[in-house]
């Protein structure tokens, strides 16, 4: 079962040193979810040979341009390419007007159905429940309203123990109902309690995109224990004061957050343009949280 | 005296085949004028090592996204780079709201002074008079209000004939006033008629950017005789009907327009993404108008 994230843009603020503004594609089975959409994202999709028809949902964390200026161009191109697939965009409320005013100015009617859902400020919320995957938003600590996104794999079925089910003489045709949590009752009225023949579903994998944020322990409640956490590291440790003033985080803070969150792995990105090489980020993170990886554009990280 | 145009983007509609949406830089002496600003223009400026601080004026032809989606990102980056130089943006009226709604959403105050001038629909108009250069807008025939831009070099001074001035005993200190068109009157009251010692200013060079348009002979009145005409050629001749329906032009039409305009040279661009190679455009244009060049990204064409 494929669950991964591909980095399209890893830089903050503006493109520099061959790095681009924020965008990621989350792959779950054969569905794609776009997270943020900095300028040029449509070109990054092409370069990385990502099937744009499989993107049905776009999540925009906040309205700093390096996280969404590529959205209108991507929508426009989807239209010119006569995309038929629907698209659902989630983002801060003002984004809808920003999209519509630009479509209106061009007299553009997108040929595919699209809808917009405004994120509610300051509260965690479920955005999408697709049976096997749930996407939630949670607020982060940034200069303007900003949201992280949590992708949670969901196993709805209880785990069947076939040996026990046989031992209790449950007919195989009833197994799906056992997985749904039902007890089995035979013709004589004897009840087999569900928990004797099944166990709880295994916990689903979780990917947490923590967007732009200061170091904020309140986020642990949303993303603690995630298999993979993306946390921004705009600055190195020496610029901790600058990070605080600008509502960003440092390498050490990202690593410390992952350590406290007991994350499986940490992915760091959103590097300031002041750094030509990003290797020092890894050198600062790993002593605090060993399982750290740098977000490299074009690379895919398994959840 | 440098007067040239550098192509940053030569494709129509969307980026494809390594080509990008429309943007050009007009260089006049050491000043730069940006004409259209498709998505990614800020990256094209970097790649072509164009000094962004020297851009003081931006002209947006119309509000199809391939001509302006890169503007907000460029403005944002100018701000992040603490640009001090003022910037004057000219474009269709709705562009101002499109810019402001995005700056407002990010709580962004650009740190440099900028102003916006809305183009008046359907009429030719002078946008800028910088003494040695005048920029005018003129309406083109497109699906939504669209403007071409004419850059005219201006020689304000009459051309002095020093031999004749000496012959009429005009003192050298008076020469600048001769160039301004004054007659010379000596102490005895003898008048030397200006046209005896000067001749008319030489005509300035002209660059006409004809934006997106159907073939439209009304434009000849604005750009006839220009030294360099940029005319779109979205389609080859075989797609003339498609061009007409979509308010665009073909190769043959662009060449025919340049021929009728008695242009010095023709530059063609805005190629449809359906064409991987653009060489056939040249093959179709040159039999009609020999002095045709393809707009190649990164190349500079003298006016």
Write the residue in A14, A43, A63 that is nearest to B40 by C-beta. A43
Kindly list the residues from chain A whose CB atom is less than 8 angstroms away from the CB atom of residue B82. Answer: none
> In Å, how far are A11, A237, A238, A260 from A280, measured between CA atoms?
15, 10, 11, 22
Task: Give every residue of chain B whose pLDDT is below 50, as ranges.
Answer: none
Put simply, the answer to whether A13 touches B80 (Cβ < 8 Å) is yes
Q: Token pair of B26, please?
A: 């007009």
Kindly list the residues from chain A whose CB atom is less than 8 angstroms away from the CB atom of residue B107. Answer: 143-144
- Tokens 């309205």 found at: A63
pLDDT, tens digit (0-9, with 9 covering 90-100), for A178-197: 999 999 999 999 999 999 99
CB B271 within 8 A of CB B22: no
- Does the beta carbon of A64 lie under 8 angstroms from any beta carbon of chain B? yes
% of residues, chain A, pLDDT over 70: 100
Q: How many residues comprise chain A?
A: 303
Residue A202 has pLDDT above 90, yes or no: no
Q: Closest by alpha carbon to B281, among B244, B259, B243, B253?
A: B253
Catalytic residue among A36, A66, A212, A239: A66
Query: Which residue in chain B has the smallest CA separation from A144?
Result: B106
Query: Hey, what's the torsion of the CAs at A273, A278, A284, A290, to 10 degrees?
Result: 130
Which pTM does this prediction carry?
0.92
The pLDDT score that the predictor gives to residue B202 is 85
pLDDT, tens digit (0-9, with 9 covering 90-100), for A20-65: 999 999 999 999 999 999 999 999 999 999 999 999 999 999 999 9
For chain A, the straight-line distance linking the first and the last C-alpha, in angstroms and rounded, comes to: 11
Write the residue in B65, B98, B101 that is nearest to A73 by C-beta. B65
Q: Closest by alpha carbon to A58, among A73, B74, A142?
A: A73
Backbone angles phi, psi at B60, to 5 degrees: -110, 120
The pLDDT score that the predictor gives to residue A9 is 98
Kindly list the residues from chain B whose CB atom is less than 8 angstroms away from the CB atom of residue A78. Answer: none
Query: Which residue in chain B has the smallest CA separation from A43?
Result: B15
| Alpha-carbon gap, residue A29 to B256, rounded angstroms | 54
DSSP A288-300: T-SSEEE--TT-E
Determine the Cα angle at B99 with ends B95 and B105, to 5°. 145
Determine the Cα angle at A70 with ends A149 and A78, to 5°. 100
CB A95 within 8 A of CB B105: yes
| Mean model confidence pLDDT for chain A | 97
| Alpha-carbon gap, residue B21 to B92, rounded angstroms | 18
| Alpha-carbon gap, residue A148 to B84, rounded angstroms | 34
pLDDT, tens digit (0-9, with 9 covering 90-100), for A163-176: 999 999 999 999 99
List domains and CATH numbers for chain A: 3-155+202-302 (3.60.15.10), 159-199 (no CATH)
Distance from CA of B207 to the nearest CA of A (A): 27
The pLDDT score that the predictor gives to residue A156 is 86
Query: Which residue in chain A has the smallest CA separation from B19?
Result: A43
Strands B55-59 and B87-91 turn out to be: parallel
Residue from A13, A14, A103 to probe the interface with B (highest B Cβ count within 10 Å): A14
pLDDT, tens digit (0-9, with 9 covering 90-100), for A113-129: 999 999 999 999 999 99
Instruction: Determine which helix (DSSP H) or strand (DSSP E) holds B100, and give its type and residue range.
Output: helix B94-105
DSSP B275-297: -S--HHHHHHHTTT-SSEEE--T
Rounded mean pLDDT, A223-235: 98
Residue A1 has pLDDT above 80, yes or no: no
Q: Is A66 labeled as catalytic in the residue annotation?
A: yes
Q: Residue A38: left if φ>0, alpha if ψ -120 to 50, beta else—which one? A: beta
Query: Hey, what's the torsion of the CAs at A189, A195, A198, A200, to 10 degrees?
Result: 150
- Does the beta carbon of B13 lie under 8 angstroms from any beta carbon of chain A? yes
CB B265 within 8 A of CB B293: yes
ipTM of predicted assembly, 2 dp: 0.90
Instruction: Determine which helix (DSSP H) or strand (DSSP E) holds A160, and give its type and residue range.
Output: strand A159-160
> In Å, how far are A40, A111, A229, A293, B273 from A80, measured between CA atoms?
16, 8, 35, 37, 11
Q: Token pair of B112, please?
A: 């440099």
- Bridge partners (DSSP) of residue B161 are none
Kindly list the residues from chain B whose CB atom is less than 8 angstroms away from the CB atom of residue A80. Answer: 13-14
Q: How many residues comprise chain B?
A: 303
Distance from CA of A69 to the nearest CA of B (A): 7
Rounded mean pLDDT, A211-235: 97
Write the residue in B39, B101, B107 that is nearest to A97 by C-beta. B101
């Amino acid at each position: 079962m494929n669950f991964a994230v591909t980095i399209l843009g890893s830089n903050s603020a503006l493109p520099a040193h061959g790095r681009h503004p924020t965008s990621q594609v989350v792959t779950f089975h054969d569905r794609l979810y776009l997270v943020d959409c900095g300028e040029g994202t449509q070109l990054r999709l092409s370069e990385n040979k990502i099937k744009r028809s499989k993107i049905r949902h776009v999540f925009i964390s906040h309205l700093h341009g390096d996280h969404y200026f590529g959205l209108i161009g991507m929508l426009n191109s989807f239209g010119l390419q006569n995309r038929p697939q629907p698209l659902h965009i989630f983002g801060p409320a003002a984004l809808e007007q920003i999209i519509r005013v630009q479509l209106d100015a061009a007299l553009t009617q997108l040929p595919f159905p699209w809808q917009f859902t405004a994120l509610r400020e300051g509260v965690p919320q479920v955005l999408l429940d697709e049976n096997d995957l749930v996407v939630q938003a949670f607020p982060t600590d940034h200069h303007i309203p900003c949201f992280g996104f949590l992708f949670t794999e969901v196993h709805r079925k209880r785990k069947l123990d076939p040996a026990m089910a046989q031992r209790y003489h449950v007919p195989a045709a009833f197994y799906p109902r056992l997985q749904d949590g039902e007890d089995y009752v035979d013709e004589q009225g004897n009840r087999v309690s569900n928990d004797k023949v099944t166990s709880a579903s295994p916990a689903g994998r979780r990917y947490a995109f923590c967007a732009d944020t200061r170091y904020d322990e309140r986020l642990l409640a949303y993303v603690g224990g995630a298999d993979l956490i993306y946390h921004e590291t705009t600055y190195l440790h020496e610029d901790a004061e600058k990070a605080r003033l600008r509502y960003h985080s440092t390498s050490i803070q990202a690593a410390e957050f992952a350590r406290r969150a007991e994350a499986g792995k940490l992915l760091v990105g959103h590097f300031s343009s002041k750094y030509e090489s990003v290797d020092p980020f890894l050198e600062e993170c790993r002593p605090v949280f060993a399982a750290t990886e740098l977000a490299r554009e074009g690379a895919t990280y398994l959840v």
